[in-house]
Structure 1
């Protein structure tokens, strides 16, 4: 089984590991493509103004260009510990059990725009690049799609895809009979469903954490859905073939989105 997650623009900086070693990353067959994308990022980063524009950085993000310039020599941390933000805060990798982290090492893959798909415990440096970023002479979907998609498809087994659409395009799975794309939707008392934004990421993080802590290699989505029901996650077929909806009660998502929710007494 593969559990696929998107990365995050926000990341922990610094690190404790040695500098980037492409050969240490999962899917070594992607090393040549990774080198090309890194070279393009370094070329872009040589021009501060051009890089700020291409990476769509606000005034507070200009320092990200210097971080990109140092991507080959800066210290690393495991990928699952590098990313922050709503999804990764909910995943809370630092508090995962040893069994869960071991399961993540074998089954969790994060879709990076810079490195392609990487293993949860792969050592990676800080960087800034998203699926929609523009690099000199290349379009990221065109560069990554075929080789990264083939690498993921070759793994075999059930693929549980929690990536956003933009990152899924960087490595499409060519095995629809054993892959499931999960969308987080709210459902009200009438059964009406609608897509979520902020709560989508939180729910995916909680769902991924539960799967890792459960540490079961599911054979198919029906087995995953049956486990989900017992674990408090409702997973049902979506409106499009190959897609499943992870349901969140409308009242729960509305409460979580409320600006005053955090200040209410527990």
Structure 2
């Protein structure tokens, strides 16, 4: 089983003294592409105003440009600990027991716009780059889409795609992969079901945490639904390889 997560715009500061080491990242087939994207991002970071425009951030976030300038030399920390924001705050990786963190190392993949798919415990620096950022010499979707790691779902393993649609488009999975896209929905008092946007992130984080605490390599979407139910979350099969997660009320 693979839990495929989107990244977060925001990153935690700090880390250990170890700088980015490509050999410690999952999916070694991506090394050349990773180096190319990093090279373009660092080049862009030399022009502060151009960086702000390309990254679609305001002047008050100039520190993000500095981060990008030093992305190859700054400290690293495990990806699940590096990312902050709604999904990762709900997941709360720092409080996970050792067994759950070990399970995350082999069963969580995060779709980074800078590094492509990475393992949940891969050591990464802080950076700023989104799926819709504009690098001068690179179109991110055209760069990442052709090099999706064939290892993801290659043996028929279950892939739970918790990514946003923007990150799905950035790096679509190979045809034939046993993947299920997670749609977070809410049900009103009259029974009407509608998809959530921003508030879906917390539900994704909570479900991911429940699956990591369960720490079992599930083989079917029915098993996932059962584990979710045990943790108090309602899930149902949808159409065309989609599964619905009902956001907790309150």
TM-score range for the pair, normalised by the shorter chain length: over 0.9
Per-residue CA distance 1:10-61 (angstroms, 9 max, x = gap): 1111211400011110001100010010011011111111111000111221
Per-residue CA distance 1:214-248 (angstroms, 9 max, x = gap): 0011111011112222221111122x301111012
- From the superposition, tell whether residues 177 and 63 of structure 1 become closer, same or farther in structure 2 (CA, over 3 Å): closer
- Looking at structure 2, the residues matched to 110 and 156 of structure 1 have their Cα atoms a distance apart, in angstroms, of 19
Q: Does the 8 Å CA contact 2:150/2:174 hold for their aligned counterparts?
A: yes
Task: Look up the match of 1:245.
Answer: 244
Q: Considering only aligned residues, what root-mean-square deviation do their CA atoms show, in Å?
A: 1.4
Give the 3-state SS of the residue equivalent to 1:198 in structure 2: coil
- From the superposition, tell whether residues 195 and 50 of structure 1 become closer, same or farther in structure 2 (CA, over 3 Å): same
- Answer 1 or 2: which has greater helix percent: 1
TM-score of the superposed pair, with normalisation by structure 2: 0.95
- From the superposition, tell whether residues 191 and 149 of structure 1 become closer, same or farther in structure 2 (CA, over 3 Å): farther
Instruction: Give the C-alpha shift of residue 155 in structure 1.
Output: 5.8
Q: Does the 8 Å CA contact 1:109/1:119 hold for their aligned counterparts?
A: yes
Gaps of 5+ in 2: none
- Looking at structure 1, the residues matched to 70 and 99 of structure 2 have their Cα atoms a distance apart, in angstroms, of 34
- From the superposition, tell whether residues 130 and 222 of structure 1 become closer, same or farther in structure 2 (CA, over 3 Å): same
Instruction: Give the C-alpha shift of residue 199 in structure 1.
Output: 2.2
Give the 3-state SS of the residue equivalent to 2:150 in structure 1: helix
- Looking at structure 2, the residues matched to 177 and 136 of structure 1 have their Cα atoms a distance apart, in angstroms, of 33
Per-residue CA distance 1:159-200 (angstroms, 9 max, x = gap): 001010111122212245611000110012333111113321
Per-residue CA distance 1:49-90 (angstroms, 9 max, x = gap): 111100011122111111100000001001010000111110
Task: Look up the match of 1:41.
Answer: 41
- Looking at structure 2, the residues matched to 114 and 25 of structure 1 have their Cα atoms a distance apart, in angstroms, of 12
Q: Does the 8 Å CA contact 2:40/2:135 hold for their aligned counterparts?
A: yes
Task: Look up the match of 1:85.
Answer: 85
Matches within 5 A, 1:147-226: 147-148=147-148, 150-154=150-154, 156-176=156-176, 178-226=178-226
Count of matched residue positions in the alignment of Structure 1 and Structure 2: 250
Q: Does the 8 Å CA contact 1:145/1:172 hold for their aligned counterparts?
A: yes
Task: Look up the match of 1:126.
Answer: 126
- Looking at structure 2, the residues matched to 28 and 155 of structure 1 have their Cα atoms a distance apart, in angstroms, of 18
Task: Look up the match of 2:59.
Answer: 59
Gaps of 5+ in 1: 256-266
Task: Look up the match of 1:107.
Answer: 107
- Looking at structure 1, the residues matched to 70 and 169 of structure 2 have their Cα atoms a distance apart, in angstroms, of 27
Task: Look up the match of 1:260.
Answer: none
- From the superposition, tell whether residues 153 and 16 of structure 1 become closer, same or farther in structure 2 (CA, over 3 Å): same
